[in-house]
A = this chain, B = another copy of it.
């Protein structure tokens, strides 16, 4: 078998060696509790403070507006429940294609008496700002719309939605877990809360952040030692936080060049697949998509089977998002896009990353073509 080809970067990424190097001293050398007042504690505190300032610079916000958490799911839960429980009641507007962390949190809040409106999307997975305006009512307390979709890559018009939220004095949260290589200026995006995580941008797993604009009241999820300005108790994961910040810094520093490279690889892949394999359908509009995510449907095959056959060839891709891929059911994202049954069952996500080369992709196309042909012959 050839060297494995990992095209599942939207599920998670390896830790970049530069990130791991940045983390190393904080495991066994500068390891004290940042809350300890002795010099060893102070050094750990300084590392966290310095990191917070560096991250704030990227988001163009104040350091105290950054809350470090254990990952995207926690940040999203903290943002949405935090606002909901502070307000006590009201309506939340979100979209039908959000990550399960948003959708399940909203479903939970529905059981607690909150009203949730799920915005529709068009055939490319785009939310219409006009729909946002229509959904707003006097009870609306929060709008939560993802920056970029994890299954199809569609980038939402955040600034437009943010402007609407601002005009109606409604808080606006965005799940930007998949958007670590896009522009993250919170003022430009017009967000009040923003979720980012580390494990999708070559940082360590188990760490994320929530940006919360100064002055916003938020009920904490975790009570205790009042770390993170009281918003998130628990001893700070110092190596994790340092690694996350390094990963974010690298992702942002290299984004122009890397996004250009990935866009070119993506376009090559799409063109070749559509040319070589008949009866295929592209599930996004490349001009409005993340450079690294390609979602294509193949008629007459079951996506799960293709994933497994590719895996046997050392090629790792995903059908739908990894978080729901252990249940075999049509992705909620493709359903919301009203994708016809012909295409919905055979949808594959190829997500490219830093290690991906044109040679890899050509190898994948070759094997994919054979697998699709064989499976179609059987069915």
List A residues at the B interface (Cβ < 8 Å): 4, 6, 8, 11-17, 20, 27-29, 31-33, 35-41, 69-74, 76-77, 99-101, 104-105, 107-108, 199, 204-207, 221-227, 233-240, 304, 307-308, 310-312, 314, 316-319, 322-326
Given contacts A20-B28, A27-B15, A28-B14, contact A41 B322 (CB under 8 A): yes
Which chain B residues lie closer than 8 Å to A20 at the CB level?
27-28
Given contacts A32-B316, A205-B236, contact A225 B100 (CB under 8 A): yes
Which chain B residues lie closer than 8 Å to A225 at the CB level?
73, 100-101, 104, 323-324
Q: List 27 A-B contacts (CB under 8 A).
A: A6-B32, A8-B40, A11-B32, A11-B36, A11-B41, A12-B32, A12-B33, A14-B31, A15-B31, A33-B322, A35-B322, A35-B324, A35-B325, A37-B318, A38-B316, A38-B318, A40-B311, A71-B237, A73-B224, A73-B225, A77-B222, A99-B224, A101-B222, A101-B225, A101-B234, A205-B240, A227-B323
- Measured between alpha carbons, how far is A235 from B71 in the docked complex, in Å? 8
- The answer to whether A8 and B37 touch across the interface, beta carbons within 8 angstroms, is no
Distance to closest chain B CB from A352 (angstroms): 15
- Measured between alpha carbons, how far is A77 from B233 in the docked complex, in Å? 10
- The answer to whether A74 and B234 touch across the interface, beta carbons within 8 angstroms, is yes
Given contacts A71-B235, A224-B100, A235-B205, contact A326 B35 (CB under 8 A): yes
- The answer to whether A73 and B222 touch across the interface, beta carbons within 8 angstroms, is yes
- The answer to whether A100 and B32 touch across the interface, beta carbons within 8 angstroms, is no
- The answer to whether B322 and A71 touch across the interface, beta carbons within 8 angstroms, is no
Given contacts A223-B77, A225-B73, contact A323 B12 (CB under 8 A): no
Given contacts A100-B233, A207-B206, contact A33 B11 (CB under 8 A): yes
- The answer to whether B76 and A224 touch across the interface, beta carbons within 8 angstroms, is yes
Which chain B residues lie closer than 8 Å to A240 at the CB level?
205-206
- Measured between alpha carbons, how far is A101 from B222 in the docked complex, in Å? 8
Q: Chain B: which residue is nearest A36 at the CB level?
A: B322
Distance to closest chain B CB from A244 (angstroms): 11
- The answer to whether B222 and A74 touch across the interface, beta carbons within 8 angstroms, is yes
Which chain B residues lie closer than 8 Å to A40 at the CB level?
4, 6, 8, 311, 316
Which chain B residues lie closer than 8 Å to A74 at the CB level?
70, 222, 234
Identify the interface centre among A35, A76, A100, A105: most chain B CB within 10 Å of its CB. A35
- The answer to whether A104 and B233 touch across the interface, beta carbons within 8 angstroms, is yes
- The answer to whether B38 and A317 touch across the interface, beta carbons within 8 angstroms, is yes
- Measured between alpha carbons, how far is A205 from B32 in the docked complex, in Å? 10
Instruction: Say which residue of B223, B317, B323 sits within 8 Å of A224 (CB atoms).
Output: B323
Instruction: Say which residue of B224, B238, B325 sits within 8 Å of A105 (CB atoms).
Output: B224
